[in-house]
Each structure stands twice: as C-alpha cells, then as structure tokens.
Amino acid sequence: MVVEDAQTGYVGAVVRIEYGRMELEDRRGRRKPFPVGPGYLIDGKPVILTSPRRAAPAANTRTASGSVAVPDATAKVALSSRIYVEGRHDAELVEQVWGDDLRIEGVVVEYLGGVDDLAAIVEEFDPGPGRRLGVLVDHLVAGSKEARIADTVRRGRGGAHTLVVGHPFIDIWQAVKPGRLGIPAWPTVPRGVDWKHGVCDALGWQHGGQADIARAWQRIRGRVRDWNDLEPALIGRVEELIDFVTQ
C-alpha cells in the first residue's frame, strides 16, 4: 500500500508494521517511521490506517493418513473386529499415522510379539461375521516362514473372516522412507546379525541394549510426519486391513 503523510507530504510504500508504528519507503529506497492511525492520504483521500489482523491458523483438514479430518470427533465404542500387528513398533507407527481414522471407526490395534503362533491366536479369537480379524505381518514374501503361517491361517477355521496381509520389509523400520533420516537406503545387514542392531551399528548409533534400540526407534519414528514419509507397500496394506475389519 502506498500512502502519503498529510502533514509532511512524504509518500512511500508500507514495508513494515510493528507495535503501532510503520515504515514507509519512498521511490529512492529511503525509509522513514510513522505512527499507524489518522493523518494519511491514499489517492488524495484522507484515511485512517489500522494494523492488519493476523489470520487465524487454518485448521488441519487432513489426518496424518491423508483422510479428511473430522473436527472434535469422539472415539467410537470399539468394534468386535480387531487388527493385530506383529510388534510394539508396528503398533506405534500405525497409531501415529492412522490413529485418528481408527478412533472414528472404532478399531482397536493390538500387537502380538511375533506370529509363530498365529494360527492358534486366530483360533482363540474365533473370527466370524461381524467379528473380523485383520493381521499385518512383517516380511511376508513368497517362500518365507511368514507366508507359510499366513497360508495355514487362511485354510483354518475362521479363515474366511480373517485377512492376513504383509509388507516385504524385514522390520517395520524399513517402512519409513530412508530419505527422512538423511540416508539414501537402509543398510544391508549380514545374515546372522540381529537386523536392528546391525542397522544401528551401520548408522553409528548406540545399540548395546534394548534401551538403545528403543531410542533408535524413537529417533526414526520422530522423523515421520504423515503417510508421505512411509513406503507405499505398508500404506496399502494398512488401508486394506482397515477396510476389511470395518465392512
């Protein structure tokens, strides 16, 4: 905005406003302070200047998963259906990105601590119509132990009401895009070396005990802002499970 001080005839563009004062810059680049208020002309007409009001920050219209946000939504009573994930880190990441969606849908996510006994766990859950079970498995690739376990569940009692899906990563850590950590790719860990310890070692992070591994995971998870920071191979599977258990 270009204004003229009616008293002195000084003409300049408003370049700064702070604490009730403003700076006007003339066509030669010279700046001069003036109080905000009456006593100015715009296009020869008298005006009273006021400081602009700061716009309120726009409400976030999307959840971390990319869904349309529902302001002030309350969590539903939990459905009988459930989603099981393999470990604590899996559950924490799913909650971080899909938590808002899950609460609106009334879906509870629980972690198993491994899937070696998945067939027995599914049988105990006793899935059926209106009581579906979705399971997210790490490293679900052809020929793997996990693939054989998933096939056993599908052929077992309740298999028609159970969906077992998985991502190809050795661990859920790999589902976070490496670029978020400033690395081009996740380190390759030799066979026989615990994967998480091997990753920490390659990245120069402490890995002497479980507390170190927990801190490493918090460091990784802290870099995840929303679904854009995750690999599509995980995103699609979680969305598939949510759709399955809420149908």
pTM of model > 0.75:
no
> Which pLDDT does position 102 carry in this prediction?
92
Q: What CA–CA distance (Å, rounded) separates 172 from 90?
A: 6
Average pLDDT, the chain: 90
And the tokens for 96?
């971080």
Q: Tell me the one-letter amino acid at 197.
A: H
Q: Compute CA distances 4 → 8, 9, 31, 101, 236, whole Å.
A: 8, 6, 13, 55, 60
Confidence of residue 243 (pLDDT cuts 50, 70, 90): very high
Average pLDDT of the residues in 105-115: 91
Average pLDDT of the residues in 96-125: 92
Q: Compute CA distances 139 → 66, 149, 171, 175, 229, whole Å.
A: 25, 12, 7, 11, 19
> Which pLDDT does position 67 carry in this prediction?
85
Q: Which tens digits make up the pLDDT trace of 18-54?
A: 878 899 988 888 889 999 999 999 988 999 999 887 7
Cβ atoms of residues 95 and 110 within 8 Å = no
Q: Which tens digits make up the pLDDT trace of 67-98?
A: 888 877 777 788 899 999 999 999 999 999 99
Average pLDDT of the residues in 89-115: 93
Q: Does 60 score more than 70 pLDDT? A: no
Confidence of residue 55 (pLDDT cuts 50, 70, 90): low
Q: What CA–CA distance (Å, rounded) separates 152 from 76?
A: 33
User: Which of 60-74, 205-219, 226-240 bottoms out in mean pLDDT, i.e. has the lowest?
Assistant: 60-74
Q: Which tens digits make up the pLDDT trace of 118-158?
A: 999 999 999 999 899 999 999 898 888 899 999 999 998 88
Cβ atoms of residues 142 and 112 within 8 Å = no
Give the strands of the sheet with 38-42, arranged side by side.
Answer: 31-35, 21-25, 11-18, 2-5, 38-42, 45-48
User: Which of the given ranges, 11-15, 64-68, 144-148, 218-222, has the highest pLDDT on average?
Assistant: 218-222
Q: Does 57 score more than 60 pLDDT? A: no
Q: Which residues pair with 45 in a beta bridge?
A: 42
Q: What CA–CA distance (Å, rounded) separates 193 from 196?
A: 9
